[in-house]
Amino acid sequence: MAAVTQQYVDSLPPIYRDVLAAFPEISPTRNAGEGLTFQTLFTRLRRMGRGESVSGHGGADRKRPWSYEEIKEACHNMEKGGAVKIEMGMFACPTEVGEEIIALLNEGKRAPKLEVPPFPPLVGYSEVGVENAQGDVSDLAKGEDFEPHGPAAQ
In which band, very low, low, confident or very high, does the pLDDT at 113 lie, cut at 50, 70 and 90?
A: confident
Taking the C-alpha atoms of residue 105 and residue 125, their distance in angstroms, rounded to an integer, is: 48
Question: Taking Cα atoms as reference points, which of 18, 4, 33 lies closest to residue 74?
Answer: 18
Q: Which domains does the chain have, with CATH numbers?
A: 6-105 (1.10.10)
Q: Whole-number mean pLDDT of the chain?
A: 82
In which band, very low, low, confident or very high, does the pLDDT at 127 lie, cut at 50, 70 and 90?
A: low
Taking the C-alpha atoms of residue 54 and residue 80, their distance in angstroms, rounded to an integer, is: 27
> Which percentage of the chain shows pLDDT scores above 70?
73
Q: For 61-105, write each residue's pLDDT tens digit.
A: 667 899 999 999 999 999 999 999 999 999 999 999 999 999 999
pLDDT of residue 9: 94
What does the DSSP 8-state code read for residue 131? B
- What is the C-alpha end-to-end distance of the chain, expressed in Å? 67
Question: Taking Cα atoms as reference points, which of 94, 107, 113, 87 lies closest to residue 16?
Answer: 94
The most confident of the ranges 44-53, 55-64, 92-101, 121-130 is 92-101
Q: Average the pLDDT over 14-24 and give the result.
A: 94
pTM: 0.68
- 8 A C-beta contact, residue 129 and residue 138: yes
The most distant pair of C-alpha atoms in the chain lies apart, rounded to whole Å, by 89
Neighbours of 147 (CB within 10 A): 7
> Which percentage of the chain shows pLDDT scores above 90?
49
Q: Average the pLDDT over 106-123 and give the result.
A: 78
pLDDT of residue 58: 62
pLDDT of residue 119: 83
- 8 A C-beta contact, residue 95 and residue 84: yes
